[in-house]
Amino acid sequence: MAGASFTLQQVPMRVMAERNHFLRLAESSSNDRVLVILQLHGGNDGLNTFVPVEQYDLYYSRRANIAIPAKNSVRSMIPLDSTLTSADQVGLHPDMIGIKEMYDQGRMALVQGVSYPQNNGSHFRGRDIWHMGGGINDYHSSGWVGRYLSKDVDPLVYPEEFPNATYPDPLAIEMGSEISLVFHQEDNIPLSISLASDPDAFAQLVESLEGFTDEGFDPRGRPPAYLDSSLYGKELNWILGLEDKSEDYAGRLYEVYSRSYTPRVTYPENYPFAAPSSSRKNRLTPQLQMIARLLHGGGAGQGVGTKVFLVKLGGFDTHAEQVEGHDATMGGHAALLHHISSAMKAFQEDLRERGIEDRVLTVTTSEFGRRIPSNGSYGTDHGTGAPMMVFGKGVRPGVYGTNPDVSLNNVEMQFDYRQVYANILKDWMQVDEDIIANDIFFGNFINGVSDEGVPYSPLPVAKQNVTSNEAFFNDRFSLDKAYPNPAHLSTTIRFRINTPAEVSLNLYDMNGQLVKVLVSESRGPGEHMVDVSLEDIPAGIYIYQIKAGMLNDSKKLIVRK
């Protein structure tokens, strides 16, 4: 049973069904944390998303017709992190400015080379494998969290006892009208009810569903009472019961949605550069806006208790015309990366403004990556490994793994996707680790190694406790103490920035009057040293202040004569 679907604010949504593993995970959860899964349909090209800087010449030679410019271009790759080793240096696609900002704020992690053993490059099979939490030889009809939840004792029976005072909301929602394997459990029977409308019409439609009896005749086709105990009667009554619960959930979601204010944060709507018309509209924006409004609901404790959301963005199967022929930084793939980057940045700002940023973690998933060499159609063919991105205040920021070897034809696996899922379950959703290893992933981990030779070793991309990422920021943006200090004739000031910026470094007296301009120019990422002559500066106490992009800091300097 897959659940019921409808639309809210023109966004298709699906309510999870009886025995769904996410629903039961939410039932057993003792925290208010939320997981958003962002599915990139089609297989994202990781190499044009995260360019391997040290191997750039070889990268360019393997895909010259689609390669992102390294530098000396208005639209060239964006250096991600100056503190990484040279082999790990990554350049972002130029339309991923928002992701760069989230990374610098400590709200984004990149996991390189994620796949599964013997990746077969199939859209549907690959998607099923990621959803089921299995390997190439597994054929299960349940999702990767279903094994854990099937071991749990159902505290309530769905749909008979749902919604209720404790769980008034759907505990897992899928955006869109498709039924994903990730939301299935053994013996489920897919079923959906589709309702499409804007909020006003949606509310009227919900109200129109009240009461189905007309002059003693039920237009839904309910069988006579004497058939209730028959198999037909039981099945139909179950279906009609699910329809009733969908009606209840629809009304509840609309109530919460209406109570929450429209975003004060500006979400992106369209790609601003050259791309096919089908790719220009940001289809991720309305999905993320909806989630923020539903989780907020107008104030603390007024939002929905939904635990898991699945959102989707299609168009990543870029066999041809991945880029514009006249400019490899533009085109369909560029538009999709812009949509992810800009919409996720707005989503994080929206969550922060609503006071719920601590509760939400987002992870991307795609069935495979693309091959390393480009093809003759300005595109890329099905590959294997691909990067995953994790967003939120609860992320452990940074880059996990290293750049792929671009002399090969495919991106090799560095991490099994289950290592990422396992950590999110363990540290974010706070599921018992033994249950994750032995039940969720088929119980085939013996001495920490699966039947495929995959070690059970959760990759620590999420935090157990949501704490400040100030240390991560300070490692990349900092103003050091001058040395010597106190100083006589000269001193040296060091600072570090992680993105190109206009740097303003000035010396002020204790009255706030400008004494000397020390730096006023553009500087690139990395550590910088400024030698300051103090021969013309009277003895006293001064303040030196820096403004450089995200860095705004000041420190004391004592001058002695």
Per-residue model confidence (pLDDT) at position 434: 82
Residue type, 325: G
DSSP string, 65-130: TTPPP-SSSTT-PEE--TTS-GGG-EEE-TT-HHHHHHHHTT-EEEEEEEE-TT----HHHHHHHH
**Stretch 328-340: mean pLDDT:** 98
Q: Is 560 exposed, middle or buried (0-12, 13-18, 19+ CB in 10 A)?
A: exposed
- The model's pTM is 0.88
pLDDT at 172: 74
83-121: b (≥16 Cβ within 10 Å) or e: bbeeebbbbbbbbbbbbbbbbbbbbbbbbbbbbbeebeb
pLDDT score, position 232: 56
pLDDT of residue 128: 84
Q: Counting Cβ atoms within 10 Å, is residue 217 exposed (0-12), middle (13-18) or buried (19+)? A: exposed
Of residues 495, 530, 522, 472, the one with CA closest to residue 84:
472
What is the token pair recorded at 124? 């549907």
Q: What is the pLDDT of residue 445?
A: 64
Cα 514 off chain centre by: 44
| Tokens, residue 237 | 């009554």
* pLDDT given for residue 20 in this prediction: 45
Helix or strand (DSSP H, E) at 333: helix 332-354
Query: Using one digit for the tens of pLDDT, what is the confidence trace for 365-374?
Result: 999 999 999 9
Q: Is it the case that residue 219 has pLDDT exceeding 80? A: no
- Cβ neighbours around 268 below 10 Å, total: 18
Q: How confident is the model at residue 43 (pLDDT cuts 50, 70, 90)?
A: very high
Residues 477-559, CATH architecture:
Sandwich (2.60)
Asked if residues 520 and 555 have their Cβ atoms less than 8 Å apart, the reply is no
β-bridge partners, 202: none
Tokens at 448, concatenated: 């920490």
pLDDT for the residue numbered 13: 58
pLDDT at 454: 73
List beta partners, residue 527: 496
Could you tell me the pLDDT band of residue 227, with boundaries at 50, 70 and 90?
low
Mean pLDDT of the chain: 84
Quick one: pLDDT at residue 512? 96
77 secondary structure, DSSP code:
P
Structure tokens at 15: 């309510």
Where does the pLDDT of residue 471 fall: very low under 50, low under 70, confident under 90, or very high at 90 and above?
very high
Q: Taking Cα atoms as reference points, which of 471, 458, 468 lies closest to residue 357? A: 468
The CA-to-CA distance between both ends of the chain, in Å, stands at 82
Task: Kindly give the interhelix angle for 231-259 and 285-296, rounded to the nearest 10 degrees.
Answer: 90
> Any idea where the domains of the chain sit in the sequence?
3-471, 477-559
User: In the prediction, which pLDDT does 149 show?
Assistant: 37
Residue 224 neighbours by CB under 8 Å, 6+ apart: none
Write the pLDDT tens digit of every residue in 112-168: 999 999 998 999 898 888 877 778 887 766 665 344 334 432 455 555 666 778 778
- Tracing tokens 């006892």 back to the chain, one arrives at 161
Q: pLDDT exceeding 70 applies to what percent of the chain? A: 76
Q: Please list, residue by residue across 522-549, b when 16 or more beta carbons sit within 10 angstroms of its beta carbon and e when fewer do.
A: ebebeebebebebeebeeeebebbbebb
